[in-house]
């Protein structure tokens, strides 16, 4: 294999595949990227078996076809220090040579034929959804997706597809985030996508996409990328049981003033107490130390007697950070019962702190 490619093109491809590489054990072939030259197209692959990415580019001058692997991190480190001009990649006696001007580097390789295979998407059933809706929905529920939970099915997000809608759901057991979009679907199914995959999907897909699935994989294809992730094999909790069936009191709250007030309290404590009176919303830190933070907003609430609850501030700030409007609603029942934050088709149900 011998190709010439602009530094910017190669560097961009290598940056995109970094999250898909095995980082801890560089003796594994999965710490390598695989280069394949097919006709006039360069195909770059990376996978750690759980997730994988294929990138194609025709912005390359092919002098000799072939395939090779090389350590993805080391290759990116080399490319980054080179100048903004053409780079030559060439295989010589089972090593990869990187050349630019008077600079020469050499990396060991694996046999490209031993590189892990990627799942095929041909003949698999499809999910029809706009890429922008997919990315926006996943972005909203990402903060509520758990990590390292012993209940492994919670370390991902549920995509619950009904005949006329799709629900995106995640929970870290203290809060439950749901995005609902109207969408006509031929097939009803529920799949659990790992958090790592959710994060990478948001980075990659902005144009037209095709989504394929089976019992093991979710595959997303665009003009430039083919992405796959293994699905989490488990049963997601029945999220509909967590959503309060009735709400005693609903208030519209101003986003910016709420954020300012909560952030003042977080200088002392991430846990805070919020009290609604008839004319104000009072914010107070919860801390065992002999320090205190207080502030309040003037707002007509409609409460005839004070209503108080305690909460981790991050849950409210995470929700507000994913909203677009200048206001959001809060639905309250009792102080020790879950409350609901809502903005259009996005809601988060939060468990308060019992004090």
User: pLDDT (tens digit, 9 = 90+) per residue, 26-44?
Assistant: 889 999 999 999 899 999 9
Write down the residue that tokens 């995959």 correspond to.
197
Give the Cα separation of 158 and 206 in Å (integer): 21
Residue 191 host element (H or E): strand 189-194
Q: What pLDDT is stored for residue 129 in this prediction?
A: 84
Q: Supply 146's token pair.
A: 């758990």
The phi, psi pair for 41, rounded to 5°, reads -115, 135
Q: Cα(283)–Cα(321) distance, rounded to whole angstroms?
A: 19
Handedness of CA 340, 343, 347, 348 (dihedral sign): negative
Topology adopted by domain 2-114: DNA Polymerase III; Chain A, domain 2 (3.10.150)
Given CA atoms 274, 277, 282, 284 in this order, what sign does their dihedral have? Answer: negative
User: Residue 161's closest CA among 143, 134, 140?
Assistant: 134
* Residue carrying the six token digits 């609603």: 329
Mark out the alpha helices in the chain (DSSP H runs): 7-17, 72-81, 131-141, 195-204, 255-266, 313-321
Which pLDDT does position 261 carry in this prediction?
97
207 in Cβ contact with 222 (< 8 Å) = yes
Cα-based distances in Å from 29 to 24, 45, 60, 75, 200: 12, 12, 25, 14, 21
On whether the CB atoms of residues 210 and 126 are closer than 8 A, the answer is yes
> How would DSSP label each residue in 213-226?
E-SSEEEEE-SSEE
Residues 6 or more apart whose CB falls under 8 angstroms from that of 176 comprise: 144, 169, 170, 239, 242, 243, 348, 349
Q: Same CATH fold, 249-350 and 2-114?
A: yes
Break the chain into its structural domains and give their ranges.
2-114, 129-205+230-241, 249-350
Question: Tokens for 15?
Answer: 């940056």
3-class secondary-structure state, position 292 = coil
Domain 129-205+230-241 listed as CATH 3.30.160.70: no
Report the topology of domain 249-350: DNA Polymerase III; Chain A, domain 2 (3.10.150)
Residues facing residue 96 across a β-bridge: 91, 107
Q: What is the pLDDT along the chain (355 residues), one digit of tens a residue?
A: 999 999 999 999 999 999 999 988 888 999 999 999 989 999 999 999 999 999 999 999 999 999 999 999 999 999 999 999 999 999 998 899 999 999 999 999 999 999 999 999 988 888 888 889 999 999 999 999 988 888 888 899 999 998 889 999 999 999 999 999 998 877 788 999 999 999 999 999 988 899 999 889 999 999 999 999 999 999 999 999 999 999 999 999 999 999 999 999 999 999 999 999 999 999 999 987 789 999 999 999 999 999 999 999 999 999 999 999 999 999 999 999 999 999 999 999 999 998 8
pLDDT at site 43:
97
**CA 316 to chain CA mean position, Å:** 19
pLDDT score at 8: 97
Q: Residues 97-148: pLDDT tens digits?
A: 999 999 999 999 999 999 999 999 988 888 888 889 999 999 999 999 988 8
- Looking from the CA of 74 toward its CB, the CA atoms found within 13 Å total 15
Q: What is the dihedral of CA 203, 204, 208, 209, to 10 degrees?
A: -110
Mean pLDDT for all residues in the chain = 94
Rounded Cα gap, residues 67 and 262, in angstroms? 55
């Amino acid at each position: 294999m011998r190709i010439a490619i602009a530094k910017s093109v190669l560097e961009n491809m290598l940056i995109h595949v970094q999250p898909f590489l095995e980082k801890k054990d560089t003796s594994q072939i999965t710490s390598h990227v695989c280069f394949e030259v097919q006709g006039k197209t360069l195909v770059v692959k990376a996978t750690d078996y759980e997730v994988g990415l294929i990138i194609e580019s025709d912005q390359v001058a092919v002098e000799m076809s072939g395939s090779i692997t090389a350590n993805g991190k080391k290759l990116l480190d080399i490319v980054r220090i080179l100048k903004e001009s053409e780079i030559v990649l060439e295989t010589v006696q089972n090593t990869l040579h990187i050349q630019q001007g008077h600079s020469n580097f050499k990396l060991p390789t694996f046999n490209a034929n031993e590189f892990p295979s990627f799942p095929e998407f041909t003949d698999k059933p499809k999910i029809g959804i706009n890429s922008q809706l997919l990315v926006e929905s996943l972005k909203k529920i990402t903060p509520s997706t758990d990590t390292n939970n012993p209940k492994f099915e919670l370390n991902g997000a549920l995509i619950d597809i009904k005949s006329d809608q799709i629900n995106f759901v995640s929970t870290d057991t203290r809060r439950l985030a749901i995005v609902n979009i109207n969408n006509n679907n031929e097939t009803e199914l529920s799949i659990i996508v790992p958090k790592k995959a959710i994060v990478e999907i948001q980075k990659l897909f902005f144009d037209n996409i095709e989504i394929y699935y089976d019992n093991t994989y979710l595959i997303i294809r665009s003009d430039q990328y083919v992405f796959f992730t293994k699905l989490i094999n488990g049963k997601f909790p029945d999220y509909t049981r967590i959503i309060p069936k009735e709400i005693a009191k609903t208030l519209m709250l101003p986003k910016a003033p709420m954020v300012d007030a909560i952030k003042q309290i977080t200088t002392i404590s991430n846990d805070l107490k919020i009290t609604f009176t008839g004319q104000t919303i009072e914010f107070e830190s919860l801390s065992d130390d002999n320090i205190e933070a207080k502030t309040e907003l003037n707002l007509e609430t409609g409460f005839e007697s004070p209503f108080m609850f305690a909460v981790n501030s991050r849950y409210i700030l995470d929700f507000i950070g994913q909203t677009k409007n200048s206001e959001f609603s809060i639905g309250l029942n009792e102080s020790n019962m879950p409350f609901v934050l809502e903005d259009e088709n996005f809601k988060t149900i939060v468990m308060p702190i019992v004090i």
